[in-house]
Amino acid sequence: MLSGNILRDAIISASNNLSNNRKRVDELNVFPVPDGDTGTNMSMTVANSVREISKLEGETAGKVASVNASCLLRGARGNSGVITSVLFRGFSKGIGNDEFLTPENIAAAFSNGVEAAYKAVMKPTEGTILTVARVASEKANESFESGNDAVTVFRDAVGGAKEALAQTPEMLPQLKKAGVVDAGGQGFVLILEGMLSVFENGVIISSNNIENESSEENSEDGSFNAAGEFDTEITFSYCTEFIVNREKTCEKEPSELRTYLESIGDCVVVVDDDDIIKVHVHTDHPGNAIENALNFGNLVHLKIENMRDQHERAKHDAENAKKRPAKTADLKTEIKSVEITKPYGFVSVAAGDGVNALFSELGVDTVVSGGQTMNPSTDNILAAIEATPAETVFVLPNNKNIIMAAEQTIPLSTRKVVVIPTRTIPQGVAACLNFDPEANTNDNTIAMQKATEKVATGQITFAARDSDFDGFKIKKGELLNMIEGKISFVDTDLQKAAVRLTKQMIKKQSEFVTVIYGEDVTDEQANELETALNEKFAGKVEITFIRGNQPVYYYIISVE
C-alpha cells in the first residue's frame, strides 16, 4: 500500500533528483540572456515543500499531498515553478482525503493537475511541460482503465511523460533548432522519476549536495520563455481579464460563466476557488463579459486590451527585464501582517541600490529583492505585501517571469492585492508616476496599466551562451541589445551600442529618455554616454541618467 509516509519519501526523492540535475535542466534554455533558468526555479520550488513534509509522520496520503501543494504554491518561483505548483495542487485535489494512493486516485490526481495547469496558463503552448504532463495523465488513465495496480499506473504515467518529452522538439521549432528538449518538461520528468524510485523500489534518491537549492541565482525558464510566445491569428479584438469576488449568497456555478464567455469569445480561462473566480477571455464585447460576471459577485483587477493595436508589442514580449536583489525581500518565510494605516500601498520587485532607491522615492513601501537572475517566491512577495500597512496593495513584478508568482498571492493575502503586470523596471516606474491617491482602485488600475503601455524599454546585456537565436548567430559574451525583450542587434562596443539602441527607440512623438546604468558601468562611462546622447538628440528629447547599480543589464533605457 502506498501510504502517506511513502508519498512523503517520494516527494523528497523527487526534490533530490531535480536538485542533482538542476544545471542540466538550466542548460536546456535556448534564450541567450543570462537568466538562471528552469531547473533552478523548479528545484527551489519543490525544495520549499521538503522542509515541511519531512516533519510529517504517519499522516494520510491526502494530508501529505495537501501540505505539499500548499508549500509549493507559496514557494513557487518563476513560471516553471508556478506551473509545477499548480500541477501538484491538482494532484492533491485528485487524492482528496484518501489514506492511501490507489490506481483510481493517482489517475484522478494526474487529470486534475493537468486540467488546473492548462487553465492557469493564459496561452497554453504544446511542446512544453503542459504537453508532458498531459500525456502522462493520459497514460495513467489508460493504465487505470486496464485494471493495473497503483505502482504500475504511476510507472505508465512516467513512461508517457518521457515519450512526450522526446517529442517536444518536433512541436516547437526553437527547441528543434537548438537540439534540445523542453526544460520544464525535463524538470517534470525528473520529479516523476524521483517519485517512482520510492514507489517501485523503496529507494529515496539521495542529494549529491553539489546543487544546493539555496543558491539564489534564478529566473526565467526555457519552456515558457523562448518557446512559448508564438503568433496566432487574432479572431477577437479585446483581451479581457478580471477577478470576481464571489458573493456568498450567489448559487450560480462558475461553469455557467465559462459557458457564456465561450459563446462570445475564445481563449476562455475561468479558474475558481471558494472566494474568487479569475477570468480571461478574448472577445469583441468586453462589456457583455463584465455584465454577465457581475451576476457572480463584484469585480476587481479589470484589464481590457485591444490586441489588434498591441499585436506587435505583444508578439515580441519575449523575456525582459532586470536584476538581482537589494535588501527588502529578504523577508524570508515568516509572514507577519502589520497594522493597516492607509488605503493604498505598493510592493515592487527590483534589484540594485539605485533602482530600489528610485522606487522608494516614488512611494513604494516594500521592495522585494529579485529580477532577471533571481525570481522571488510567492511567499517572498506575500511577506512584502503583509509588511505593507495598506488596505489595498499594488504589486509591480517588473519582470515577465514573476507575474504568475505575484498573482498567486491574491487569495493568500489579508490585503486586497492588485497585480499590475509590469514586465520591466521602466513600466514599474511609469505605473508609480501615474498613481492618483485621490482616485479609486479600479481607476488607478486602469491608469497605471495604460501608463505602462506608453513606455518603450530597451536593455543591453551580455550573451550567457553561444546561440543561434531569432536569426542571430550569437557568441558568448557579446552584447545583446533588446527592445521589449526582443533582440534588435548584437554588438561588441557598449557605448556605441547604447547610442544605436536609443536611436532605434526614439520616435517623432518621444519626449523623455531615461537611462538606468548598472553595477558594471562606471560613472565615467555613463557621463560619456550622456554627452553622446545629448549631442545627438539635442532639442528633441529630455535625457535623464540614473545610477541603478542593477546586475545583468549594463543599461536599461526607457523612452516615453
Q: What is the pLDDT at residue 255?
A: 83
The Cα angle at residue 90 between residues 85 and 91, in degrees rounded to 5:
90
Give yes or no for residue 230 having a pLDDT over 50. Answer: no
Report residue 94's pLDDT band, with 50, 70 and 90 as the boundaries.
Answer: very high
Give yes or no for residue 12 having a pLDDT over 50. Answer: yes
Q: Which three cell numbers stand for residue 477?
A: 559574451
> What is the per-residue pLDDT across 359-375, written as a single tens digit (0 to 9) for each?
998 999 999 987 765 78
Residue 542, beta-bridge partner list: 512
Q: What is the pLDDT at residue 373?
A: 59
- DSSP run (H or E) holding 534: helix 523-536
Phi, psi of 328 (to 5 degrees): -65, -20
Distance of alpha carbon 55 from the chain centroid? 29
Q: CA neighbours within 13 Å on the CB side: how many for 222?
A: 33
CB burial of 294-332 (b: ≥16 within 10 Å; e: otherwise) equals eebbebbbbbbbeeeeeeeebebebbbbbbbbbebbebe
Report residue 300's pLDDT band, with 50, 70 and 90 as the boundaries.
Answer: confident
Q: What is the pLDDT at residue 33?
A: 57
Find the helix packing angle between 523-536 and 494-505, rounded to 10°: 40
Phi, psi of 472 (to 5 degrees): -110, 135
Mean pLDDT of 365-389: 86
Percent of the chain scoring above 90 in pLDDT: 51
Of the two residues 546 and 266, the one the predictor is more confident about is: 546
Mean pLDDT of 390-396: 95
Q: What is the pLDDT at residue 38?
A: 82
* Burial class of 386 by CB neighbour count within 10 A (0 to 12, 13 to 18, 19+): buried
> What is the per-residue pLDDT across 189-216, written as a single tens digit (0 to 9) for each?
999 999 999 999 999 998 875 444 333 3
Give dist(CA 210, CA 212) in Å, integer.
6
Closest CA to 224 of 177, 279, 167, 174: 174
- DSSP run (H or E) holding 261: helix 254-264
Q: What is the pLDDT at residue 317?
A: 37
Number of Cβ within 10 Å of residue 503's Cβ equals 11
Sequence-distant (6+) residues with CB within 8 A of 233 are none
Give dist(CA 26, CA 41) in Å, integer.
9
* Burial class of 149 by CB neighbour count within 10 A (0 to 12, 13 to 18, 19+): middle
Percent of the chain scoring above 70 in pLDDT: 87
Give dist(CA 16, CA 198) in Å, integer.
12
Of the two residues 425 and 323, the one the predictor is more confident about is: 425
Mean pLDDT of 370-396: 87
Q: What is the pLDDT at residue 471?
A: 76
Q: What is the DSSP string of 410-442?
A: TTT-SSEEEE----SHHHHHHHHHT--TTS-HH
Give dist(CA 50, CA 56) in Å, integer.
10
Using DSSP's 3-state secondary structure scheme, residue 141 falls into helix
Residue 243, beta-bridge partner list: 278, 300
Mean pLDDT of 493-519: 93
Using DSSP's 3-state secondary structure scheme, residue 269 falls into strand
Q: What is the pLDDT at residue 302?
A: 79
Strand-pair category, 390-396 with 416-419: parallel
Give yes or no for residue 328 having a pLDDT over 90. Answer: no
Of the two residues 520 and 467, the one the predictor is more confident about is: 520
pTM of the model: 0.61
Phi, psi of 465 (to 5 degrees): -160, 160
Give yes or no for residue 290 having a pLDDT over 70. Answer: yes
Report residue 28's pLDDT band, with 50, 70 and 90 as the boundaries.
Answer: confident
Give dist(CA 26, CA 15) in Å, integer.
15
pLDDT mean across residues, the chain: 84
Give yes or no for residue 62 having a pLDDT over 70. Answer: yes
Mean pLDDT of 93-121: 92
Cell 544605436: give the residue: 500
Are the C-beta atoms of residues 101 and 142 closer than 8 Å to each other? Answer: no
Give yes or no for residue 381 having a pLDDT over 80. Answer: yes
3-state secondary structure 28-88: CCCCCCCCCHHHHHHHHHHHHHHHHHCCCCCCCHHHHHHHHHHHHHHHCCHHHHHHHHHHH
Are the C-beta atoms of residues 252 and 262 closer than 8 Å to each other? Answer: no
> What is the per-residue pLDDT across 422-458, written as a single tens digit (0 to 9) for each?
999 999 999 999 999 999 999 999 999 999 989 999 9
Sequence-distant (6+) residues with CB within 8 A of 433 are 362, 451
Give yes or no for residue 146 having a pLDDT over 70. Answer: yes
Give yes or no for residue 5 having a pLDDT over 50. Answer: yes
Strand-pair category, 366-369 with 416-419: unpaired
Q: Which range, of 7-21, 153-167, 218-232, averages the lowest pLDDT?
A: 218-232
Give dist(CA 350, CA 423) in Å, integer.
11
Are the C-beta atoms of residues 65 and 246 closer than 8 Å to each other? Answer: no
Give yes or no for residue 281 having a pLDDT over 90. Answer: no
Q: What is the pLDDT at residue 338?
A: 86
259-268, 325-334, 381-390 — which one is most confidently predicted on average? 381-390
Q: Which range, of 76-80, 472-476, 516-520, averages the lowest pLDDT?
A: 76-80
